[in-house]
Structure 1
Amino acid sequence: MRLAVERELQLQQKIEDKTILVVDDEAVIRELCSKVLKGYRVLQAEDGEAALGVLEGERVDVVLTDVMMPRLNGLDLLKAVKDKDPNKAVIIMTGYAEKDIILRALKADADDFISKPINLLQLKTTIEKVLEKLALKEELVHLKRIDQLKTDFLGLISHKLKTPITAISLFIQNLARGLDAPQDPGFQKTLSLILEESRYLGYLIKDLLYYSETVLQEGPPFLSRINLRDLVNTALNQLAFSAANKQLALTSELDGELPELEVDRRRIGFVLRALLENAIKFTPAGGAISVSTQVSEDRIKVIFRDTGAGIPQDELPKIFEKFYQVDPEKTGQVRGFGLGLFYARQFAQSHGGSIQLTSEPGLGTEATLVLPR
């Protein structure tokens, strides 16, 4: 019972704070619709061309349009909207007798109809019904995406875990059979290899748990006010051992006064960690990594610079792809899951931010997280 109530509340939250675009060449109709739809964010356009202009610059959830309008009519607008975004909801306002128009609108995938003269109660009910259907459709798409991600992830885990487990098993079998004895010159080297593969296995398992907690969890971001300095320092502390293990000089130059932000602590923490982890992974022993911040009136930047191998220009567009991994030495054995930058960019964008990347082979890489204030 409690789960059903929570689900109903989640659906209700999804249909609130939505934007409706009312398109009609009669100003009085637009105003009447806007008054009935009080509580929603309502935008207006006097014809189809004006509506397309609004859609270019605004996030709109439902388009409510008349059919007969100058320049671009409602059916052409419906087709243009659906061609660009098949999931965008469009409701057609038309008369009872216009059966040909209704058939054409149905073929163009109209989501619902409002008859003229408009019944204002029916209008509000129809909008609510379409928004609820849209929320359910989005939830279904989200569940399918999560299911596919889990399938892909399990396949990747199987592949990634196989190599260190096989190596450790072979090493131990050799020791058990006496093929490597303590007095043999290669004994210590074998132990070192077992230790290295064991650490890597532990690293993969730790990463797997981290991804399951941060990436595979459903639901919207959980926002809270945080100090960005604390999140950056947490990422630095978490990866300080990895940097020291490679003899990398890890330094930070954070602005004295960093404003508080309202973000999802776990997800922005994931972004910072992913950017720093990549810098450590691709910077050779003895190199250097610096972390700094820049604060302006409207944004905050966290900048990661490294002296690593750099990324070829033809690979730069690919690095944010799911499971893609840069392989500078062409070994085919890049460690990790290839998901860090993919989700880092998604999480940054979900906060209205971005990740900027500049790199040149042999000169290192600069990765910048940009967040709005």
Structure 2
Amino acid sequence: MNARFIKAQKQQTKGRIILAGTAGAGRIRGAIALAAGMTAAKIAVLDTEGMANLHSDVSEFDVLEMSAPFTTDKFVAVVEAAEKEGYGALIIDSLSQAWAGEGGILEQVGKLTASKGNKNGVWDTVQPQHDEMMNRIRKANLHVLVILQCKTEYLVADTPGALAPKKIGLAPVQRDGIDYGFHAVFYVDEPSQVATCSADHTGLFGGTFAEILTKTHGEQLRTWLESGVAAPAVATPEVKDVKETKAAPPSGNATALFINAAQVTTLKTLLTETNTDTLRFLSHFKVEKLENFPAARLDEAKVMLESKKAKASEAPAPSEGTHNDNSGNLTEMLKARNIPFTEGAEGIAAKPKFTDNAAKAFLKEQGFSWDAKGKAWVFKQAA
């Protein structure tokens, strides 16, 4: 090991902020105000609560509403889409859904435990999904402000002439240690909307800070985040076979993160022309329906389908009397999904990553069965 210590220098970075509190505390208003001060670029809001549009008076922003199931891969897809669309900040309201919402981590753990009859190995299967989501958020090339719900409890304080109940927020609804890698964690009180800072790596909000969050606080954060030496450039992974296209200008007051109705129709047409199974297509892109297909990956999907269409038109028709099985198509689909496999006289043995649930679902749909002895998904060729 050839390691040496070097002089520490603060580097410029993108903001990572958490706002936690009970319903009605004003977390989303505070997050929008902070984001408006942190960036001069567009602000995106991922809305799982259906309430973001009520706060458009705070500052201009684009909104994307997400419906259940709240699987972690959908949050990752939104972060990537927001980056590609050139947003300066992304507000996630709320990330608690990925943990305790419908289709979230806890529900997946419960279903796997019920199917197995015990919890052995269940968390080893599900936890990597959460880790991948959090790592993607922390490494995002834009400011990310995460809103968390809090467990709620009511305290009854004895005041002169009456018993006044007060709603207080307890622990955030998320995995323990969620604040790791974030620059500041604010707890917003209801109904005062006053924020206190429980963790502060910026030095701006520690001690006795107790204020309603405003754009000015965001501007202070921006100054701190942009001070220091430039961070080293991080190489972004290349997407193969996808032509670079200029983003379309925004329609109305929002830039779409999902494809529009006309683009849905285009994909449906291509799927029909190429005889592609829609469910398998969606599984490949980890999307539940075409209407939720990320705009950032539309070109990739069209190139894939157009290529399949071109190959089909060039392929010679099978000779009369010959038997054309599906093994060739199957191996091509495995290659397209980057699923490792071997092919022998008896059939195909696929070995996807242990955490790749989408690949496992695809293999089941194709008729593969799990071979515990060989530790592979096996498809036996017909005799």
Note whether the superposition's TM-score is higher than 0.5.
Answer: no
TM-score by length of 1: 0.27
TM-score by length of 2: 0.26
Q: Please say which structure displays the higher CA radius of gyration.
A: 1
